[in-house]
Amino acid sequence: MMRRDIFQAIADPTRRAIIALIAVQAMTPNAIAEHFDCSRQAVSKHLQILTECALVKQEQNGREIYYQLEVEKMKEVDKWLEQFRKIWETKFNQLDELLLKLKKNQ
């Protein structure tokens, strides 16, 4: 099997939504599944892929298993700073348009 990597992990919209969910707090598979229309099995499959990518880890708490985000692994997401930069670029382009409009109205 091809080695799974972080980009494979984030290439699927449901997995991105799972990442966003557990970034805020560790959750059980059932709690995660409640947020999605797809089957519990489908969510388990996504969690398995995320685990194989080392992007999430499991933690036993009593009888429950919690999934939590691997913050260290997220550091690979440094490249995503570039995406962050793009967000600012978008905002500034919007401001350019607004300034142009304001200047016309002056």
Partner 1 sequence: MKLQFDFLVDKEHNTLTIKREFAAGRQLVWDAYTKSELLDQWFAPKPLSTKTKSMDFRDGGHWIYAMVEPNGTEYWARLDYVKINPIDSYLAMDAFADSEGNINPDLPRAEWTVSFHDKNDHSLVETVVTYNSLNDLETVIQMGMKEGLTSTLERLDDLLLTLTK
Which residues lie closer than 8 Å to 65 by C-beta, 6 or more apart? 28, 29, 58, 59
Site residues for partner 1, 34-93, by CB under 8 A, read 69, 71, 74-75, 77, 80-81, 83-92
Contacts with partner 1, 5-44, as mask; x by CB under 8 A: --x--xx-x--x--xx--x---------------------
Find out whether 19 and 55 touch, Cβ atoms under 8 Å. yes
Find out whether 9 and 49 touch, Cβ atoms under 8 Å. yes
Beta carbon nearer to partner 1, 60 or 105: 105
3-state SS class at 67? strand
Q: Which residues pair with 69 in a beta bridge?
A: 56
Chain residues in the site for partner 1 (CB under 8 A): 7, 10-11, 13, 16, 19-20, 23, 69, 71, 74-75, 77, 80-81, 83-92, 94-100, 102-103, 106
